[in-house]
Structure 1
Amino acid sequence: MFETDLDELATADLLESAVEHRVAANRADARLLEHAQIYADRFHPSSCGVRPGRRSCDGRERAVVLGGEGCPEIAEFAIAEFGVVLGISPMVAARFIGEALALRHRFPFTWARVQAGDATPWKARQLASACVKLSQEAAAYVDRRIAPLIDSITPYRLDKIIRAAKLHADPDLARAEAAEAADERGVFVGRSDDHGNKTIYAKAPAAAVIRHDATIAAIADALKTFGDTRHLQHRRADAIGIIADPRYTQELLTQARNHPTPAHPTDTTTPAEGADHRADHRACHRAVNRTTGVSASASDGASAGASDGSDHSGLCPSGDQLEPPRDPFVDGSEPREPDLPADSFDSRAISYVPGPRTQPDPGHPMDPAAQRALDARLAQIKQTAYTNPTTSAGQARPGHTEIFVHLTDHTLATSNGVLRAEGIGPLLADQLTELVGHTPYTVKPVIDLNDTVSADAYEIPTRIRERIRLTYPVELFPYGTRETHHTIDLDHIQPYNPTGPTGQTNTHNLAPLSRYAHRVKTHARGWTVRRINHKTLEWRTPHGFTFQVDPTGTHRVDPVERAL
């Protein structure tokens, strides 16, 4: 309708044009779902040949059901080609095909609305994904409830209604999922962001979390005692690195306990205000205890230490928001739960219990001189912890951590520039100091990754595995996302021949692959791979699509260019 330059459109016409393009995009997304459905139909296991002499345990292709009960099976390796031609990973491709099949076979009313242009395709996919564990009958119930509403309410309300419909459709499954979620415990580490930060999320018994939080609070207060004037949460973040060294932690807390604490001129809270706020804080804790059924001491020091002014129980009557900012990794991986106040089981005091706090300390930045003084003092405390400890504890050493850093000779000589740390990503050169910290470190010889290192046996020695990991930070399958850790598969590009020449296991003939990609390369018909140069692999799919994978990513090769 609007073929003119967008800059020349009136605002109302510009908005109408945006609506038209949104409708066209939804139509294209619906059409892509149809492509996925028909593609899956063509790779039903009944139409796929079986390679003779293969057993189910040797990695051969299997039939899988992706969209839930009632969806047809699909040959597993067909997913890989669909993903690479669309520029997505095999895992994302499997989810997309599963959602497309689920809409056709489990949610017919919703799918009819998508085809008619009355429902947004991504919302329909959200419905299919959320209900993948439901039986076919339960999914049909949800479909009837949700289809009329799917494009008339916000995504947040849609999610709540989907969950409510699931509870009505299959209460037994809902109870099983709730029990499974309640039993999920662990410590999860997220990927690094663009600034060298990582997120760690722990779901553990309440008592253990409270004690850990109290120790973090104590370390944060100890840092403030020695002159750290930064925001409380910054000091708590640094405490994560300190607590990994128990000996250092003990020495720091011991010296902080014996240190004459200076008055802080920045604290303008009057005694009466502080008392009122602490009373509100205790009242808030008692209110939480009544609602959760957890008993806690309202006045002892351990309870004060555990609450730390960063208690995540919500808003207190005073109006202070004590919950930390929401983190996208935490929100995306596990549900957030409020931390409970300390109960009688946690009333045992740690060696250094901080005094009661009124509200989170805003702090202020440290100038370079103050930062250097603090670093020197902390380094001295750590040295004392291992040479002349204040307490009589044993000389336990922290565990060793190995860090691989990629940098140019210019960055190494000038301390300016960008480097890359394995498992973290790109950093500025001066951030390396923060990464190493005050921990004793050993600099190992530089590894020249251009050298070809080989072995005669099929088994891959550690020295070769390490070089492969450093050369290729991500697997070499088209659009693969698996990072090259020590557990990833290393596959011989040219299959190993037991009667062939020596040195077949070498850095030039090995590629890091996820287990699924490894199985596709080894067992799927029609897939071929060859090395173009020392950094590039060329993959060819069963239907003739060609892709080159190198350190810059995956690139589709034009058939005409390939023929030249």
Structure 2
Amino acid sequence: MEATAQRELAEDLRSAVTLRRVAEAGLLSSLCEFAEAYRVDAEDLLEVLAERRIQIGGEGTPRVSEYLMLELAGLLRCTPAAAGHRVVEALNLKHRHPGLFAAVRRCQIDADRALRAAVRCGALSQAAAERVTQEWFLRQGGLGWTASFNLLDKLVKEADLEAAAEKERKAREDRGVFVWGLSDGVMNLTGRLDVLDARHLDASVERMAEVIEGDHPGLTKDQRRAKALGILAQPARALALLQRAAQPELPPEGSEAHGERHGCPGELCGTVTTPLSRLRPKVSVAVHVHSDAVGRLTGLARVEQAGWITTGLLTELLGDADVTVRPVIDLANVPAEDGYVPSAGLRRAVCYALRHELFPYSDLRAERFDLDHTVPYLPGRRGQTRLGNLAPLSRRAHRAKTAGVWRSRQAAIDQIMWESPLGYRYEVSPSGTRSLE
């Protein structure tokens, strides 16, 4: 009886896998059909804002509406960028790999595996891409994930050796050093560091890349950053280069007075003769502490471009760092302005109130964009440029709003109500997006 029950559970699992494949195949098909059919009502649009059809996929994929990703973001409940990524992958699979797309619809292969395979063939022509994935499909069924894509990579390289060599060349050009992520007050490089230590390391690499730019004019910025990290692993050499940059009066490199090694005067190599404050990289780290925490340092602090940490850890991390305290911005008392372009102070206040673009499911940082008047600006009318009538919008969202295909109403300083061309409504605030349908 026990074996029979287990067999029934196993069959339920097999059925669930099949149902998942069916659902994913249906989602892909629906996504492609929606993308290919989507249009906005252009009757009332200005000619200059008429809907454009753009090609977002590879060779052989159809053109789609420039506003497609905005509508899809709400339907898929993801950012417009993520929606664009998904539709590009779906269209590439359907139109560049019709055989593989058909296999997905027949539930002979997982949609995710097929989509990944199509991406791996992005550099190939349409005909070569279809030929490669057809051969791969016939051989990948009994292989695990890693083995199957190792096989695909081999087939892709064999299909176009010149393209493979070019891809390798570009990979070498893209060398770089990057600091990313935050978890409990630490950031990632190759190990884990205190968040401010990581920011200082990133700034040191950036500074050294600037210092050596004249010595390596043929390298890109990212390649200089990679070389700069290697130099920072040699403290005496790094110190000499920093001192040379900070003290232009040092004798030119190669002269007898320049020193025996790395520009250091003989036995004094490694001695700091310039104040540390001049050699230390400047790192601008904005930290926001809630007014209730001032004086008590309890609760949380938000570190710009890093995330939230406890104020206790903030005290430890700041250590002997130079701290600049900016005046507190009281959002309730920021005055309205008459000019079309907001002042630096008003812009800073808007970005404090609205950290991200106020468009459904967008996570793009507010500082990247111009501030849009949610109620159109009329010359001669006073006080239109103010909190409550300004919102950061990306170019595509701003164009969609200006064209009237998306309608918006700013209900509060940090809240905008949106209606899509198909009539879907959303409420957007710093807390996120709420679908009203």
Does TM-score exceed 0.5, indicating one fold? yes
Instruction: Sort the Cα spacing of 1:207 and 1:143 in 2 relative to 1 into closer, same or farther, 3 A.
Output: closer
Q: Identity across aligned pairs (percent)?
A: 29
The answer for the alignment partner of 1:212 in structure 2 is: 232
Question: Structure 2 matches for 1:219-234, cutoff 5 A?
Answer: none
Conserved in 2, the CA contact under 8 Å of 1:194 and 1:425?
no
Which among 266, 271, 278 is matched to residue 396 of structure 1? 278
Amino acid at match of 2:415: T
How much has 1:391 moved relative to structure 2? 4.3
- Matches of 2:64 and 2:315, distance apart in 1: 51
CA contact (8 A) 2:301 2:309 kept: yes
Q: Give, as a single letter, the amino acid of the residue that structure 2 aligns with 1:449.
A: L
CA contact (8 A) 2:342 2:385 kept: yes
Q: Give yes or no for contact 1:43–1:78 (8 Å, CA) kept in 2.
A: yes
Partner of 1:323: none
5+ long unaligned stretches in structure 1? 1-8, 220-242, 251-346, 352-388, 559-564
- Do structure 1's residue 34 and structure 2's residue 29 form an aligned pair? yes
Q: Which moved more, 1:102-111 or 1:408-417?
A: 408-417
CA–CA separation in structure 2 for the residues paired with 1:156 and 1:137: 25
From 514, 521, 531, the equivalent of 2:394 is 514
Cα distance in 2, alignment partners of residues 106 and 96 from structure 1:
15
**Distance in 1 (alpha carbons) for counterparts of 2:7 and 2:263:** 65
Aligned-partner residue type, residue 440 of structure 1: D
Give the CA deviation at 1:81: 0.2
Residue by residue, what CA displacement relative to the aligned partner does 1:415-434 show, whole Å, maximum 9, x if unpaired?
22222222111111112124
Which residue does 1:479 correspond to in 2? 361
Q: Is 2:42–2:51's contact at 8 Å kept on the other side of the alignment?
A: no
Distance in 2, matches of 1:481 and 1:172, equals: 38
1:537 matches 2:416: yes
- Residue 530 and residue 429 in structure 1: after superposition, are their counterparts in 2 closer, same or farther (change >3 A)? same
Partner residue in 2 for 1:285? none
Spell out, residue by residue over 1:2-23, the C-alpha distance to the aligned partner (whole angstroms, 9 max, x if none).
xxxxxxx955544433332222
Measured after TM superposition, the shift of residue 80 of structure 1 is 1.3
Cα shift readout 1:351-379 (whole Å, capped 9, x = no counterpart): 7xxxxxxxxxxxxxxxxxxxxxxxxxxxx
1:172 Cα offset (Å)? 2.5
Structure 1 range deviating more: 95-104 or 410-419: 410-419
Is contact 2:286-2:304 (8 Å) kept? yes
CA shift for structure 1 position 193: 3.5
Q: CA deviation at 1:119?
A: 0.4
Could you tell me whether the CA contact under 8 Å between 1:475 and 1:483 is conserved in 2?
A: yes
SS at match of 1:413: coil
Q: What residue in structure 2 maps to residue 549 of structure 1? A: 428
Paired position in structure 1 for 2:376: 495
Give 1:48-197 correspondences, 5 Å limit.
51-54=45-48, 61-197=51-187
Work out whether 1:526 is the aligned partner of 2:408: no
**In 1, are the aligned partners of 2:180 and 2:187 still within 8 Å (CA)?**
no
1:536 positional shift: 1.2
Residue aligned with 2:116, SS? helix
For residue 412 of structure 2, what is the amino acid of its counterpart?
N
Looking at structure 2, the residues matched to 409 and 424 of structure 1 have their Cα atoms a distance apart, in angstroms, of 20
Amino acid at match of 2:402: T
Residue 398 of structure 1: CA displacement? 4.3
User: For 2:138, what is the secondary structure of its paired residue?
Assistant: coil
The number of aligned residues is 383
Q: 1:551 to 1:10 in 2, by over 3 A?
A: farther
Distance 1:194 1:18, change over 3 A: farther
d(CA) in 1 for partners of 2:234, 2:53: 51
- TM-score of the superposition, structure 1-length normalised? 0.61
CA 99–412 in structure 1, closer or farther in 2 if over 3 Å, else same: same
CA RMSD of aligned residues (A): 3.3
Give the drift of 1:497. 1.5
Q: What amino acid sits opposite 2:379 in the alignment?
A: P
Asked if 1:462 corresponds to 2:344, the answer is yes
2:427 counterpart SS class: strand
| CA 61–168 in structure 1, closer or farther in 2 if over 3 Å, else same | farther
Match of 2:38 among 38, 43, 48: 43
Q: Find the aligned partners of 2:109 and 2:361 in 1 and give their Cα distance.
A: 30
TM-score, reference length from structure 2: 0.78
**1:435 shift after superposition:** 3.9
Structure-1 separation of matches of 2:145 and 2:311: 43
How far off is 1:441 after superposition? 1.6
Specify the code of the residue in structure 2 equivalent to 1:133. Answer: A
Aligned amino acid, residue 392 of structure 2: P
| Other structure's SS at 2:410 match | strand
Quick one: structure 1 residues 212 and 104, their matched pair in 2 at CA, closer, same or farther if it must change by over 3 Å?
Answer: same
Q: Structure 2: which 5+ runs fail to align? A: 190-197, 206-221, 247-259, 265-269
> CA–CA distance in 2 between the matches of 1:196 and 1:162?
37
Provide the rounded CA distance (Å) in 1 between the counterparts of 2:184 and 2:402. Answer: 36
User: How many angstroms does 1:390 deviate by?
Assistant: 7.0
Aligned partner of 1:505 in structure 2 is: 385
Instruction: Tell me which amino acid in the other structure corresponds to 1:62.
Output: R
